[in-house]
Amino acid sequence: MEITDTHSHLDRHEFDEDRANVIERARAAGVTRMISIGTGAGLAGAHKAINLAENYPFIWASAGVHPHDAGEEIDWGLLERLAMHPKVVAIGEIGLDFYRDWSPVDKQYDRFERQIALARKIKKPVIIHSRQAGAESYRILKEHNASEVGGVFHCFAEDAAFAARLWEIGFYVSFPGVLTFKKTQDVRDICAAIPLEQILIETDAPFLSPEPHRGKRCEPAFVVETAKQLAEIKGLSLEEVAAITTANALKLFSHMR
């Protein structure tokens, strides 16, 4: 079985004491590929994610400025150099967050648009963080021709009709452990209405631990639980879902070879 965790934050301090063991447990669980998201603390998160990816042949990285950090000054030349690293498979996570609203809205728009332009320039997809901002995120992606590179809405929180609109512009949707929560039948219903060919799976580790690990630190090994839930929703075997979602990930993140 091959299974891919398309979104984790392995560089974060929560893993400092046992990162190697966390990675080993993921491999033992059947996780054959992982993407460590390079955002946070300016561009320091991107540096750390890339350094980690350089040390493991089965880990890749992204590089980008999270909307929470949009108010900070950005060294755009450095971001472009980091984004062009051969182990970087995407620009992200980028987008808009009107829920936390920790950065000025005008700065969020500016950073989002400029990073879409960067993605198009270097021909890598985008990983989207969109919280209470679906319509605006979609509008910007359309207006700035993000369909040229495609991407994924991570921790997808919109409805199936919105997912269909995303699919028209080459965007996947990704489900984390939320898919397994006892009180999220609405998310499972939405997932059931989205074609499996559009779906990726992720952990967002160290956040959003799936059942039966709720309340614990999340780690990439737990993506298997989300895959099991997705298999149940789609009426397929775990192995089939692992294979299809991994194939989807390889289509989108074409540098992950």
Identify the pLDDT of residue 215. Answer: 94
Average pLDDT over residues 102-108: 92
Burial call 28-37: b when 16+ CB within 10 Å, e when fewer? ebbbebbbbb
Average pLDDT over residues 51-77: 96
Give the three-state DSSP class for 116: helix
First-to-final CA distance of the chain: 17
Average pLDDT over residues 54-58: 97
Identify the pLDDT of residue 40. Answer: 83
Give the whole-angstrom CA distance, residue 119 versus residue 113: 10
Average pLDDT over residues 201-229: 97
pLDDT band at 199 (very low <50, low <70, confident <90, very high): very high
Average pLDDT over residues 167-193: 98
Is the pLDDT assigned to residue 117 strictly greater than 80? yes
Of all residues in the chain, the percent with pLDDT exceeding 90 is 96
Identify the pLDDT of residue 42. Answer: 79
Residues in the chain: 257
Q: What average pLDDT does the structure give for the chain?
A: 97
Strand segments, DSSP code E, in the chain are: 3-8, 31-36, 59-63, 88-97, 126-131, 151-153, 171-175, 199-201
- DSSP-derived letter for residue 186 is H
Average pLDDT over residues 125-131: 97
Does residue 108 contact residue 139 with C-beta atoms inside 8 Å? no
Long-range CB contact pairs, 157-166, < 8 A, 24+: 157/130, 157/131, 158/130, 158/134, 158/190, 159/190, 160/190, 160/193, 160/194, 162/134, 162/138, 163/190, 163/193, 163/194, 163/198, 164/194, 165/138, 166/138, 166/198
Each residue's pLDDT tens digit, 147-168? 999 999 999 999 999 999 999 9
Question: For the structural domain made of 3-252, what CATH number should be given?
Answer: 3.20.20.140
pLDDT band at 41 (very low <50, low <70, confident <90, very high): confident
Q: Which residues pair with 94 in a beta bridge?
A: 128
Identify the pLDDT of residue 151. Answer: 98
Is the pLDDT assigned to residue 101 strictly greater than 80? no
Domain boundaries along the sequence of the chain: 3-252
Is the pLDDT assigned to residue 25 strictly greater than 90? yes
Each residue's pLDDT tens digit, 240-253? 999 999 999 999 99
pLDDT band at 257 (very low <50, low <70, confident <90, very high): confident
Average pLDDT over residues 194-216: 97
Identify the pLDDT of residue 127. Answer: 98
- DSSP-derived letter for residue 104 is -
pLDDT band at 66 (very low <50, low <70, confident <90, very high): very high
Give the whole-angstrom CA distance, residue 152 versus residue 167: 10
